[in-house]
Amino acid sequence: MRLSKILTVALLFSAACYKPNYSSDEDLGKAFRCYATDRPACPGSLVCCVGALCGDSLIDPVTGGPVKDNSGNPLEGSCVPPRAPEDLSLTPASYWDFGIKGSYWTGAVNDPLLSGKDPDTGKWRCARKLEPNDMPGEEVGLGSQLPIDPNPTPGTAYEICPDESAPDLPDVDVFKFKLPTPTKVMVRITYKVTYGDLDVALFRMAKDDTGVDRPQRVVADLTAVDNGCLEVPNLPAGGPYYVVVRGTNSPEKPSKYSMNLYNIRVYGVSTPAGDSCTAKKDGGV
Ligand SMILES: [Ca+2]
Ligand SMILES: [Ca+2]
C-alpha cells in the first residue's frame, strides 16, 4: 500500500483516535513501501531506503526524478529507521571478513567467459542474476525455514562476476536465512576451481563498540579446491544468518579477483550423525 493511501486512511480514522500501528521491520515484510520523491516519503523519523541507498541518494540529481532500475522502473524502497553513516571506503569485499586464506589455486585458470562482451550478441557476459546482492539489505532471502534433510539436488545456479559499469570490482553474493530452532546447518557450493577459486563463509551480526551491527564470521571454507562446504553442528535459533560467496585474489595478484559459475544449497540436517562435509572424501555432493 502506498503511503498516501495509508495517510488517507489514517486521516479518516483520526476522529476516532486512530493510532497507526505501522512497522518498519523489513524482515517481516511489513515496512511501508515508498518512493524517495514522495513528500514526505515516510512517516515520522523513518527514511526511504533501497538496500544501502537511502533518501536523496534515490533521487536522480540530473532529472530530480527517482533513480530507476535496469528495467527503467523507479526504485521502490522501504521505510526504515535511519541507518548509521557508512564508511564510504567500505566495499562488499572488505565488509565481509573471510579471515586469512592459507591456500591458493596455482594451476592454470580457464576463462569462465564472465567478463567482457559476447562478440556475437554484444551483451555483457555476466548475467548478474538477482544483483546487487552484496550487502545486508540486498541479500537473496532463503526464508525462515530451511529445508531439512532435502534430497540432493544440483542446487541453485549463480555466478560471481562484475557489473559492466565496474568490471574490476570484486563480486560477492549474499544469502540470508533465519532459524526457528537450533539446527545443524549445511552449506554446499559446487564449482570447478580450474575456472576460478570461490570461497564461502557463514556470518551472523554482532554489535560493535558503537552499537552498529557488523558481520561476525561463524565458519568459512577458504580451500582452493573444487567445491566448498560449511557444516555447523548446532547453529542457535534466530539470526539473521548470512551465507556469503566470493571470488578470491592471491598475494601475487591482489587486485585481480576470480570469477566463476557456481551452484549453492543451504539446508538443515535433523540428526547430528547425518550429512557432513567430511563424509564424502571423493569431493562429491
Ligand atoms: Ca553479488
Ligand atoms: Ca575455495
Question: Do 146 and 20 share a structural domain?
Answer: no
Find the 187 Cα to ligand 2 centroid distance in Å. Answer: 13
Q: Confirm whether 284 is domain-assigned.
A: no
Find the 252 Cα to ligand 1 centroid distance in Å. Answer: 24
Find the 272 Cα to ligand 1 centroid distance in Å. Answer: 32
Is the separation of the CB atoms in 124 and 117 below 8 Å? yes
pLDDT-derived band of residue 120, with 50, 70 and 90 as boundaries? Answer: very high
Question: Do 127 and 65 share a structural domain?
Answer: no
As given in the structure block, the three cell numbers for residue 87 are 564508511
Cβ neighbors of 211 (< 8 A, separation 6 or more) are none
Find the 93 Cα to ligand 1 centroid distance in Å. Answer: 10
Domain boundary among 31, 54, 80: 80
Q: Confirm whether 276 is domain-assigned.
A: no
Domain boundary among 48, 80, 112: 80
The mean per-residue pLDDT over the stretch 133-143 comes to 93
- Rounded CA-CA distance 30/104 in Å is 44
Is the separation of the CB atoms in 100 and 94 below 8 Å? no
List b or e across 115-149, with b for residues whose CB sees 16 or more CB atoms inside 10 angstroms.
eeeeeeeeebbbebeebbbbbbbbbbebeeebeee
Find the 259 Cα to ligand 1 centroid distance in Å. Answer: 11
Question: Do 159 and 40 share a structural domain?
Answer: no
Question: Do 124 and 18 share a structural domain?
Answer: no
Question: Do 65 and 181 share a structural domain?
Answer: no
Domain count, the chain: 2
pLDDT-derived band of residue 285, with 50, 70 and 90 as boundaries? Answer: very low
Is the separation of the CB atoms in 175 and 134 below 8 Å? no
Question: Do 54 and 131 share a structural domain?
Answer: no
* N-to-C CA span, the chain: 44
pLDDT at 12: 46
Q: Confirm whether 137 is domain-assigned.
A: yes
Q: Confirm whether 275 is domain-assigned.
A: no
Question: Do 170 and 252 share a structural domain?
Answer: yes
Question: Do 57 and 102 share a structural domain?
Answer: no
- Rounded CA-CA distance 61/98 in Å is 36
Question: Do 76 and 96 share a structural domain?
Answer: no
Question: Do 221 and 125 share a structural domain?
Answer: yes
Asked if residue 148 has pLDDT above 70, the reply is yes
Q: Confirm whether 285 is domain-assigned.
A: no
Find the 260 Cα to ligand 2 centroid distance in Å. Answer: 11
- 188-209 confidence digits (pLDDT tens): 999 999 999 999 999 999 988 8
Cα diameter, the chain: 74
Domain boundary among 36, 57, 80: 80
Question: Do 218 and 137 share a structural domain?
Answer: yes
Find the 135 Cα to ligand 1 centroid distance in Å. Answer: 8
- Rounded CA-CA distance 268/232 in Å is 10
Q: What is the CATH number of the domain that holds 102?
A: 2.60.120.380
Cβ neighbors of 179 (< 8 A, separation 6 or more) are 144, 146, 185, 235, 236, 237, 238, 239, 241, 268
* The one-letter amino acid at 123: K
Find the 257 Cα to ligand 2 centroid distance in Å. Answer: 12
- 19-31 confidence digits (pLDDT tens): 444 555 555 556 7
Give the closest residue to 266 by CA, choosing from 200, 185, 153: 185
Question: Do 49 and 70 share a structural domain?
Answer: yes
What is the model's pTM? 0.68
Find the 166 Cα to ligand 1 centroid distance in Å. Answer: 12
- Domain hosting 65: range is 3-80
As given in the structure block, the three cell numbers for residue 67 are 533513480
pLDDT at 152: 92
Q: Confirm whether 168 is domain-assigned.
A: yes
pLDDT at 38: 84
Q: Which ligand is nearest to the CA of 166?
A: 1
Neighbours of 274 (CB within 10 A): 13
Q: Confirm whether 220 is domain-assigned.
A: yes
Find the 174 Cα to ligand 2 centroid distance in Å. Answer: 16
Q: Confirm whether 163 is domain-assigned.
A: yes
